[in-house]
Structure 1
């Protein structure tokens, strides 16, 4: 069985109002990533990704570019927790309300 990792990321730049969350959900599903994404009140986007190390690493690399209308300036990442991951509920990948 493949190892599974959970990573939490915060994406800063022009990432709200440009379809970043829907793009993230679509790309994550295509890559077999589970987790969630949401806007934050400070203008950033936060996400938690769970999957194989290779898949999660590739997802974070994709987030550095983002959808065509975005302008990513920085990404902070750290190990995520099972509690953060479970915020998605029973959905494979969820778009959560703004926090």
Structure 2
């Protein structure tokens, strides 16, 4: 199962991005976490079947209706994802 870390840039804080990503990941069956970062980005760890991780990645490129995503950085990760999907404290 692939595991990736994503960093979402743009107007992504204060618009419900973390909660919408939580719902999208849970709907798809992706494991991992999401959190705001102090630099104004949103960071997430996504792990699961390649097709469903790709679906959630595609969603992250636009996010919820009130977000304005500029770009998404994606990097492979060796971190072990938690069971389920959770919102974490700001980093």
**Taking structure 2 as the reference length, what is the TM-score of the superposition?**
0.96
Q: Following TM superposition, where does structure 1 have runs of at least 4 consecutive aligned residues deviating by more than 4 angstroms?
A: none
Question: Do structure 1's residue 65 and structure 2's residue 57 form an aligned pair?
Answer: no
- 2: CA distance between counterparts of 1:56 and 1:67? 17
- 1: CA distance between counterparts of 2:55 and 2:25? 10
User: Once superposed, what is the RMSD of the aligned Cα atoms?
Assistant: 1.0
The residue matched to 1:16 in structure 2 has which SS? coil
- 2: CA distance between counterparts of 1:48 and 1:15? 16
Gaps of 5+ in 2: none
Structure 1 counterpart of 2:76, from 74, 79, 92: 79
Number of equivalenced pairs: 91
- 1: CA distance between counterparts of 2:70 and 2:79? 28
Gaps of 5+ in 1: none
- 2:47 corresponds to: 50
The residue matched to 2:61 in structure 1 has which SS? helix
Q: Which has the larger radius of gyration?
A: 1
- 2: CA distance between counterparts of 1:73 and 1:82? 26
